Amino acid sequence: MRAAVLHETGQDKLEVLDDVEAVGFGPGKVKIRVRATGLCHSDISAMNGVLPQPAPFVPGHEGAGEITDVGDGVAGLSVGQRVLVCWLPACGACPSCKRGQTQLCLAGFMNAGTPNFKRPGGDVFGFAGTGTFAEEVVVDAGCAVPIPDDVPFDIAALIGCGVTTGLGSAINTADVAAGSSVAVIGCGGVGISAIQGARLKGAAQIVAVDPVESRREAALKFGATEAVAPDALGDAKQRITAGEGFDYVFEVVGKSATARTAYETTRRGGTLVVVGAGAMDDVLQLNMFELFFDEKRILPSMYGGGDVLTSYERAIALWRAGRIDLESLITHRVPLAEINEALDQMRTGSALRTCIEI
């Protein structure tokens, strides 16, 4: 079957090959025919080494499709069922799951060193244990989450990562207060979803911050009350908050420089929400005086910071009711053969989300 493979970490192009086989099928597993997959910024971060990931590997972790085979011992899933791929399934039994923080469950990462694919040249891994830039994947049954019939594959794929991450950061992690002021730094698919979440929670001002003009224009359509380039953020802070800083600032880039800006743009006693996935060697500096004296709350948000299955259901309900716009998040559609064009669209910032149709 066909899959897009990164041969070595640091390369910027994928090779679409047709000699790849999804491996590991057996008890507790399901096989999925992938139909749509979103290109998330984390895929690029895994390719360039910002996020740890063994290579060669098939990127992609935001996907949806149909189940084609069900392993022994799997309950509640059947062949033909439409599912989205959850890259962080909760085991239900570990200390994190037991205390209700299922988004911190590490059970799904236990297979990280196990290849998900093979080809004549050898073993191939799947990003985050999935690897949805492929026609077929084999995953733990917990990674296959059934979706209602009225949810198209492309929308379901987005809910599998970016939408859940962004919406959840505003609704679960920050629990944005009605009437508050919000700034969102980084307005790709996740940032736009954070904007939609802040709007749903009743934020009075939502300032979108992004260097790319098309993204700033898009942010206004999704609920931002104004959109500025990064060098105009200081002015916006002055104008909108009288210099005090925003009640909530969302960092959706994953860099220490933008996190530092976000910290400085948060008001004393306000909340900095860290959503972007950054590198282990990129260190955010805070001095001990400001940390204590300004009492800013720093809240990291992993996969939306709540139970992901609950977050999926909420996203579907909000989408179905027309309260969030997910269709417009998909600005580009390409077949798997044009995956490298999709990567370029992501790098230049011209895409909010590119849907790869497989």
Contact segment (CB under 5 A) with Zn ion among 33-41, 45-53, 135-143, 202-210 equals 33-41
Contact segment (CB under 5 A) with Zn ion among 22-30, 89-97, 201-209, 333-341 equals 89-97
Number of shown-chain residues binding Zn ion (CB under 5 A): 8
**Shortest approach of Zn ion to residue 331 CB, angstroms?**
17
Token pair 């990567």 is at which residue? 343
**Shortest approach of Zn ion to residue 190 CB, angstroms?**
8
Q: Does 64 bind Zn ion (CB under 5 A)?
A: no
**Shortest approach of Zn ion to residue 188 CB, angstroms?**
10
- In terms of phi and psi (left: phi > 0; alpha: psi -120 to 50; beta: otherwise), the region of 150 is alpha
Supply the angle between the helices 233-241 and 256-265 in degrees, to the nearest 10: 20
Name which position in 1, 23, 55, 91 contacts Zn ion (CB under 5 A): 91
Name which position in 17, 151, 161, 315 contacts Zn ion (CB under 5 A): 161
Contact segment (CB under 5 A) with Zn ion among 150-158, 160-168, 224-232, 331-339 equals 160-168
Residues of span 42-61 touching Zn ion by CB under 5 A: 42
Q: Does 94 bind Zn ion (CB under 5 A)?
A: yes
Rounded distance between C-alpha atoms, residue 300 and residue 337, angstroms: 36
Q: Whose CA is closest to 192, among 233, 231, 157, 227? A: 227
Binding mask 98-117 for Zn ion (x = CB under 5 A): -------x-x----------
Q: Does 97 bind Zn ion (CB under 5 A)?
A: yes
Token pair 């066909």 is at which residue? 2
**Shortest approach of Zn ion to residue 102 CB, angstroms?**
6
Q: Does 40 bind Zn ion (CB under 5 A)?
A: yes
Residues that bind Zn ion (CB under 5 A): 40, 42, 91, 94, 97, 105, 107, 161
